[in-house]
Chains A and B, each alone.
Chain A
Amino acid sequence: MSDPLKAYFDAGQAPAEDTAFRLALMERVAKRRFQIELGLEIVFFAALALCLALLWPALNATLLSVGGSMTGIAAMVTVLGAIALAGQWAATHRLRLPLPRWMG
């Protein structure tokens, strides 16, 4: 390549290191991560609430029919406990972004 052309292309080069560029970009990455995580958590908790709402009449009926039976109470505690644990897990574990392939 001729020197004037090389000089022209060299002059248009971006700086090799640019902290401002990197910081601005990583800030956008963090913002996007927050938006995605928030969106996923909203969906997750909405689904959890829906599950509870749908299950509640059945659980209530079961509780009434079994009365003080230990088996019925144990079953209810297990179901509600599982739902509570799922909620607790979602609230305390950060999602590992970038997104999995099927969501990307």
Chain B
Amino acid sequence: MTDAALVKRARAGSDAAFAQLVDRHGQAVRTFMRRVCVNADEADDLAQDAFLSAWMSLRRLKEPDRFLSWLMGIAWRKAKTRARSAARTRARETAWQDGHPGSTSGNAELALALNQALGQLSPDQRAAVALCLGGGWTHPEAATALDMPLGTLKSHVSRGRARLAEILGEDDE
């Protein structure tokens, strides 16, 4: 069943249809949140908030077949709001660097360096990198989801890629 069909059923009051949307897109939203937030627990909390907001405002979704993009936009706005309050305490940033899931896998030193590199990017850059480099989204798709001009998004991705390539000791593409 397509997203649009599930949205239609969820709008009519079907929790089962909404649960299917959660199953289908939960991983993408949670992964995105994990890449832009301070830690996995907070990321999951934000992902739940995003789904709940989406459920509340399902009738405002104009293009049901673009549910994921719309949902990512909601999640991103929630993450930005949370980040603004988190920015008041530097301890949060330390927690992000310590608690990011990538820090415990594979090459720990490299992962830590990449964590730190991502942590140094602005929230907008981090989100752009997370979607385009981490999630494989196209630039126009990501620009729509993040509500950014396409040029700005490309710039964020380019800078993010350069920073990460620098950490990895590679030439930027």
Contact = CB atoms under 8 A, between A and B. Distances in A.
Interface residues of A, number: 32
A22 B26 contact: yes
Nearest to A102: B59
Contacts of A12: 31, 34-35, 100-102, 105, 134
Contact of B31 (A13, A22, A24, A99): A13
B51 interface: yes
Contact of B56 (A25, A94, A104): A104
Contacts of A30: 15
A53 interface: no
Contacts of A14: 26-27, 30-31, 34, 43-44, 47
Interface string A7-45: 111011111111001101110111010000000000000
B101 A11 contact: yes
Interface residues of B: mostly helix, strand, loop or mixed?
Answer: helix
A11 B164 contact: no
B52 A22 contact: no
B105 A11 contact: yes
Contact of B107 (A4, A22, A104): A4
Interface in A62-103: 94, 96-101
Interface string B23-64: 100110011001100000001100110011001111110000
Given A14-B31, A21-B48, A30-B15, A8 B106 contact: yes
18 contacts: A2-B165, A7-B106, A8-B102, A9-B134, A11-B102, A12-B102, A12-B105, A12-B134, A13-B27, A14-B43, A15-B27, A25-B22, A26-B18, A28-B48, A94-B13, A96-B13, A98-B55, A104-B56
